[in-house]
Amino acid sequence: MLLLALETTCDETGAAVLDGPAPPMIGVPRVLSSVVASQIDLHERFGGVVPEIAARAHVRQLLPVIDEALKRAGVTLAQIHMIAVATRPGLVGALIVGLTAAKSLALALDVPLVAIDHLEGHLYACQLAYPDREVYPCVGLVVSGGHTSLYHCRGPIDAELLGGTIDDAAGEAFDKVASLLGLGYPGGPEIERVARSGNPKAFAFPRSFLHDERIAFSFSGLKTAVLYALKGQDARTTSVAPPPALVADLAASFQDAVVEILAAKARQALRRTGLRRLGLGGGVAANGRFRDRIAAMARDEGVELFIPPLSLCTDNAAMGGIAFAKLAAGQVAELDVDVTPGLVRPGRSNGSSTKTGAGKPAPA
């Protein structure tokens, strides 16, 4: 059966078509197309995502993106059997755009509507990337611009939050430090690029919770440490650009602190749960330094590591393929389903209806 999945949680407008098994069959769907329209140019001058601009861009881009996804998949809208959309977490205006489109399509086509959790989708990208391997159960680590969280994933739609950030997400810290250093947006790729010529041991930046028994993250103090290292303890504004060598050392030292924390907390979660698989999701998982460090940790611990390709790390609609698992579990949304913009625990209290909602049941 064919799924059309939509993604509008933040600043990427995505649509994807996937072919997967109809219930009661269970299997990993195949991605027929995945189209993403970036908004980087719109937000670059602000150094971060502006929610109102993001929502308006989704309104403009979503229908053309859907059309392109259908075209690349070689299917028509009339052939679609199911609609899926990320309804949480994310920016409220952006989420509403995607949900409104998904409801309209489900009603017009008379097909089931499935509401998915964006973070579960990020981790399900591991299963899409490794269709012939068992990813679950696993420890799941989502690291993105808005989220840094560890989960005990018993299955694609059964995840328990082990711990997360108490302040900024890792990706947000990358963006803000890049801005401090006068680098471009988004900050992650810029920090990684500049850090290649820097000394990661030049600055002994703090590693919050590194040796704490709590599974938690904090990156606000690390950002402040970079600010003080750059401008002094009074953090006075100056129009003089810092020397490139200093910028490179600061970027490398900051990046090294972040990836050390992430790898250490993932190790802690693996040991605490006894699980032997680790799945990564989110845009920060595209960082080369992080991928190398987490791979080394996984080898040391003797665990299987699943990292999606770069196209599945950043926000995309293909990870909406998790909708097949939700449909098999009877989790079909009603047409009055709403968005949940704040961070919520995925899986067990996901608010999805077990009734057949919009339109006809899935084809057998």
Same-domain check for residues 114 and 72: yes
Predicted pLDDT of residue 346: 36
Same-domain check for residues 192 and 287: yes
226-235, 274-283, 355-364: which has the highest mean pLDDT? Answer: 274-283
Q: Which domain holds residue 11?
A: 2-121+313-328
Contact 129, 123 (CB under 8 A): no
* Residues ≥6 apart with Cβ < 8 Å to 46: none
Instruction: Check whether 357 has a pLDDT greater than 50.
Output: no
Same-domain check for residues 153 and 299: yes
**CATH at residue 15:** 3.30.420.40
Same-domain check for residues 253 and 173: yes
Residue at token pair 């988004």:
186
The verdict on residue 333 lying in a domain is no
| pLDDT tens column, 108-145 | 999 999 999 999 999 999 999 999 999 999 999 999 98
Looking at the structure of the chain, the number of domains it has is: 2
Percent of the chain clearing pLDDT 90 (strictly above)? 86
Give the confidence band of 237 by pLDDT, cuts at 50, 70, 90.
low
Instruction: Check whether 183 has a pLDDT greater than 60.
Output: yes
323 against 354, higher pLDDT: 323
Q: Which residues pair with 123 in a beta bridge?
A: none
Predicted pLDDT of residue 172: 93
Predicted pLDDT of residue 222: 97
Instruction: Check whether 185 has a pLDDT greater than 80.
Output: yes
Same-domain check for residues 297 and 319: no
Q: What is the mean pLDDT of residues 247-252?
A: 98
| pLDDT tens column, 69-95 | 999 999 999 999 999 999 999 999 999
The verdict on residue 133 lying in a domain is no
Predicted pLDDT of residue 47: 82
Contact 214, 269 (CB under 8 A): no
The verdict on residue 354 lying in a domain is no
Q: What tokens were used for 307?
A: 């990292």
